Amino acid sequence: MPKISIGRRTTDRKHFDTELLPFIFLVSLYNQDCSSSFNNTGISVMRKSNLVVLIVVGLVATPILSGCVERTLTINTEPLGALVVLNDEEIGTSPVTVSFEWYGDYNVRVSKEGFETLKTHRKLKAPWYDGFPFDFFAHTLNPGRIVNEYEWTFELEPKKEINREELIRKAEELKKQL
């Protein structure tokens, strides 16, 4: 009857604890066709060195095989120099370029002295390779760099002159309604 080595113990196939069955099976597979000695953990020294080589190769290959995705959004305005707020976060004066992580709906507010404040929203649609399941391959296994650049342009309207007399007349009309 063949014997199975588990660490320093040796057991007969006839008499073994059923709780050790999965462990015995794994160790027998692990030690198959391997004449190297076991250390006190039950893992063969030869297999341990193979594991180290595999880890080193994996660590070296990861930066080479992993892709890089750069997503940028440039916001231009006419006239230039307007303050741009994207999703309630001030990002700068136009033209301004920001990087982003997520596609979707963005709230945009553009303002400049002497011009009407523009409040709107725009959508950034993901390219086909940035959707499931293609994104895994594009972002992880692609050795190159993917650059997604988007550009939005907004035209600001000049502020309308407020006629002081007209404003006073409207205020008096509202006062009479109360």
pLDDT in tens, 90-142: 999 999 999 988 889 999 999 999 999 999 999 999 888 888 887 777 777 77
Tell me the pTM. Answer: 0.55
Q: What pLDDT does 84 receive?
A: 96
Q: pLDDT value at position 42?
A: 53
Query: Which of 146, 124, 151 lies closest to 135, judged by CA?
Result: 146
Residue 28 reports pLDDT greater than 70: no
CATH of domain 68-155: 2.60.40
Q: What is the pLDDT of residue 65?
A: 60
Q: How far apart are CA 74 and CA 57, in angstroms?
A: 39
Q: Residue 66: its pLDDT value, please? A: 61
The pLDDT-based confidence of 154 (bands split at 50, 70, 90) is: very high
pLDDT band of 26, cuts 50, 70, 90: very low
pLDDT tens, residue by residue, 41-97: 555 555 667 777 777 776 666 665 666 788 999 999 999 999 999 999 999 999 999
Domain spans in the chain, listed from the N-terminal domain onward: 3-65, 68-155
CA distances from 75 to 90, 92, 96, 147, 161 (A): 12, 10, 5, 17, 28
150-160: average pLDDT: 92
Residue that wins the pLDDT comparison between 58 and 26:
58
Place of tokens 């303050």: 83
